[in-house]
DNA sequence: AATTAATTGTAACGATCGTTACGAAATAGA
DNA sequence: TCTATTTCGTAACGATCGTTACAATTAATT
């Protein structure tokens, strides 16, 4: 293949890095993905109603007009942050529950994954983004409520599927109720999310998860 | 006793109705107790940050200056509402768990009591006041966080005490862990509180509670 | 009747809310 | 180099936020 021109070589990576070929006007000074992450971080602490757009602008380094160009308005921005959070946590939960791990170990892994979200790098507790910010708005805001309800339903479903296969594998008694156990597993996740927001220490929450898993999986099964 | 004068008769109820004898100036046009209840109702729907004082003034029928004279400021008013709510719900839970009822029946009664708070007269779901409004503020507001943590601790304690006496009464196996079961009982309360705020139907939440109680109390014990 | 004390409603305070004109800046194509 | 196009930062918009003077009102006390 002798027809290798330099233009061909440089066009290939250009087209790969971004979908369109050329943006035409002044280039964006922000990374939308990183900005959404920082906006999420800000909402996480002070909630939706409690977070002015100024603080989000400061956290992202974006000007208000840029925020509106990128995300629409405050409400749409929050909705996007909420959807992104659900995606992230549900993926982490599914990964924890997947594989050939023993049931109790898989459950503990799911709770540990949640705790790693609830406690930020600095060690300060912020709890669950959904429970800490979305639940407050859910009553009056139909879109937020819909997102919360859908996320809770998927979490229930993931737990229930895991308990169902656990029963098939003989990890649970044959008369165990996968739906009921999934409800308790979700409830454990929820109580941890709440307590983290209320200032509980990470080690205490881990122990709460452990106690819950012990009861859910049948009395003495957590350590092996 | 012949010394029954009319002044004596009319002074007695007067002193009983209010602690002091005479307020001196213009009398209050509001009932502080009723106003706190209506303020709570308003916070309940739209949260602390999401509720302007105007709405509270409208709900209570009080003018802003009267609100400040009665409660201090918005933050103190909310704190008082939060304390009052804890008092109310903890009393209801204790009453449900007290008495000689079977364990499963007592637990279901506690959850039913909670549901009667979570669903207003009109049938619209507003969920738990604490989970719906206080948890959002708890991260940044130390006073609210303290109130939430203390309330959760008391709820845990009430459940644990009930499980402890249940074990003594032979309602549970001797090797049952009252603390672990109490954690799951609290978690069930929390998951119901969250789901109610997310729009779940009351009947579904009742069934969730029933499934949880069945697992917690040992498989087949809910109906007798 | 006059005085004192307490609360009332109105109206406004400065600060901040979400949102948006507007002109300068920066890049691709001509 | 010039034009077209897109995003930038600044600065401001009206609305609303929590809070408070202020004068009128209502009652007990003198």
Query: What does the block give as tokens for B176?
Result: 């049952």
Q: What is the mean pLDDT of residues B12-37?
A: 70
Report CB contact under 8 Å: A136, B132: yes
Residues 77-106 of A with CB under 8 A from B: none
Instruction: Quote the mean pLDDT of chain B.
Output: 89
A23 pLDDT more than 90: no
A45 closest CB neighbour out of B45, B139, B212: B139
pLDDT of residue A187: 98
**What is A80-216's CATH superfamily?**
Tetracycline Repressor, domain 2 (1.10.357.10)
pLDDT of residue B1: 35
Q: Alpha helices, DSSP H only, in chain B?
A: 6-17, 32-46, 53-60, 64-71, 74-97, 103-118, 129, 135-138, 142-168, 178-197, 202-216
pLDDT digits (tens, 9 = 90+) for B82-115: 999 999 999 999 999 999 999 999 999 999 999 9
Residues 31-60 of B with CB under 8 A from A: 45-50
Report CB contact under 8 Å: A148, B46: no
Q: Which nucleotide is nearest to B30 (CA to C1')?
A: C7
- Chain B interface, mutation test: which of A78, A181, A197, A218, most B Cβ atoms within 10 Å? A197
Paired with A119 in beta bridges are A125
A12 pLDDT more than 50: no
Q: What is the mean pLDDT of residues A147-151?
A: 98
User: Residues 56-95 of chain B: which lie with beta carbon within 7 Å of strand C?
Assistant: 62-66, 69
Report CB contact under 8 Å: A211, B177: yes
Instruction: Quote the mean pLDDT of chain A.
Output: 89
A127 pLDDT more than 60: yes
Chain A hits for B148, Cβ within 8 Å: 197-198
Contact B146, B86 (CB under 8 A): no
Backbone φ and ψ of B119, nearest 5°: -110, 120
Task: Answer yes or no: CATH 3.10.20.310 is held by domain B83-216.
Answer: no
A7 compared with B86, residue with greater pLDDT: B86
Q: Which nucleotide is nearest to A64 (CA to C1')?
A: C19
Judge if the beta carbon of B61 is closer than 7 A to nucleic acid strand D: no
Residue B221 forms contact with A (CB below 8 Å) = no
Report the distance separating Cα A173 and Cα A210, nearest Å: 20
pLDDT of residue B218: 84
Report CB contact under 8 Å: B187, A183: no
Quote the percentage of chain A above a pLDDT of 90. 81
So what's the ipTM on this one? Answer: 0.89
pLDDT of residue B13: 36
Nearest-CA neighbor of B109 among B127, B99, B96? B96
Helices (H) and strands (E) in chain A, counts: 11, 0
């Amino acid at each position: 293949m002798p027809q290798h021109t330099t233009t061909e070589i440089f066009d290939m990576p250009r087209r790969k890095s971004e979908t369109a070929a050329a943006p035409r006007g002044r280039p964006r000074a922000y990374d939308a993905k990183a900005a959404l992450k920082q906006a999420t971080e800000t909402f996480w602490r002070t909630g939706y109603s409690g977070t002015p757009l100024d603080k989000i602008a400061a956290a992202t380094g974006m000007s208000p007009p840029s925020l509106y160009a990128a995300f629409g308005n405050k409400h749409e921005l929050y909705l996007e942050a909420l959807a992104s959070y659900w995606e992230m946590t549900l993926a982490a939960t599914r990964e924890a529950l997947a594989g050939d791990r023993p049931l109790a170990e898989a459950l503990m892994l799911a709770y540990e994954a949640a705790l790693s979200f609830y406690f930020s790098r600095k060690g300060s507790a912020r709890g669950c983004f959904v429970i800490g910010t979305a639940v407050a708005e859910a009553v009056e805001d139909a879109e937020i409520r819909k997102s919360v309800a859908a996320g809770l339903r998927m979490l229930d479903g993931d737990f229930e599927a895991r308990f169902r296969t656990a029963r098939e594998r003989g990890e649970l008694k044959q008369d165990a109720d996968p739906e009921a156990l999934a409800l308790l597993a979700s409830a454990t996740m929820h109580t941890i999310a709440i307590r983290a927001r209320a200032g509980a220490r990470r080690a205490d929450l881990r122990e709460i998860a452990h106690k819950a898993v012990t009861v859910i999986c049948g009395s003495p099964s957590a350590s092996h």
